[in-house]
Amino acid sequence: MFDTLPIGLVWVVVLLWGAIWGSFANVVIARVPYAQSIAFPASHCPRCKTPIRWFDNLPILSWFLLRGRCRACDVKISSRYPLVEFGGVLCSLAAAYIAMGGFEAWRLTEAPALEVVGAWMLLSFFFLSLLVLVMIDLEHLLLPHRITIVLVLLAFVYAVVVPPGGAWRGVVPSPSLMSAGIGFIVAYGGLFSFAMSFQLITGRQGIGGGDFMLFGALGAWFGWEALPMLMLLAAFQGVLGYVLAQRFFPSLIREAGDETFWDGTTADLASDLAEARTEEEAPATTTSPEEAAPSGGRGVPFGPFLCLAAVEFIVVGPLYLRWLNGGI
């Protein structure tokens, strides 16, 4: 498909793909924490309930044309929406850059076009899922299994679609199916065992169940060999983030005894919901104990640091794996 298109048109398709899925990511971010359907009802204004027409739902563009307000009732629309849609564009662009071998797309001449297209689509979903998880965890202290389990399944599909070696040499991720399976088991089991040991010793839960599944998903995407570096990056940046939050952003640090920390919600909803709904209209939270933030002590969500480590590993991973295998 893509190997027969002009290279400029290929990148236009890549950008449009990202914008469309970035728009869908906004729906996931707004609804999944409340266990709402992502398909029904159709997109609508949270205050006046007016369905959003297609020409008012164009990614990024419509928000600026409407000057950030609902056409029907003039309520302010959060700037999060165009930012996430732009993030979707960046996710698709980064995935295509990796899958196609740069802006000249040289890998299209060395690997089957279906492999390249499949890798691009799956990697774009990988990056977009990380973006969604970061947004939800920062706002709700929650890593929904509805997203992390899908991320695990996509990792195994990716391992089948993209064979390790050959034209994919030096690409991260490119684990074998066996490596992906071992990576998931070791990552999930290792973090679960550590958390249970910590709880037995201290009487407090240090890591939420959503973190287990997210780390397991990263193990499936990158393979078991990547796990020490991923955890080192996430843990170091998590500690640094906590120190910086204490100094400059104390509102980001939550007390485990707070109701909002325990049940995985926040006192303040996203700005669009806060402006558009009264307390009685806000949806009930249906967070499961496995997904809720951990109890005991003070802290910041760990999920965003795991996601950040995953993105960083895309960059440094090939060098790290070569060193691990004695290549440098």
**pLDDT on residue 283:** 47
pLDDT value at 158 more than 70: yes
Least confident range of 83-92, 103-112, 201-210 = 201-210
pLDDT value at 97 more than 90: yes
**pLDDT on residue 70:** 87
pLDDT value at 278 more than 50: no
Q: In terms of C-beta distances under 8 Å and separation of at least 24 residues, what long-range contacts does 277-285 make, across chains too?
A: 277/46, 277/47, 283/34, 283/36, 284/34, 285/33, 285/34
Least confident range of 188-192, 235-239, 269-273, 292-296 = 269-273
**pLDDT on residue 273:** 40
**pLDDT on residue 4:** 64
- Of all residues in the chain, the percent with pLDDT exceeding 90 is 43
Question: For residue 215, which phi and psi values (nearest 5 degrees)?
Answer: -65, -35
Picking from 302, 326, 83, 282, the residue whose alpha carbon sits closest to that of residue 198 is 302
pLDDT value at 275 more than 60: no
**pLDDT on residue 153:** 96
How many Å apart are CA 130 and CA 139, to the nearest integer?
14
Q: Which two tokens stand for residue 145?
A: 């299994």
pLDDT value at 241 more than 50: yes
Q: If you average pLDDT over residues 266-291, what whole number do you get?
A: 41
**pLDDT on residue 288:** 54
**pLDDT on residue 248:** 82
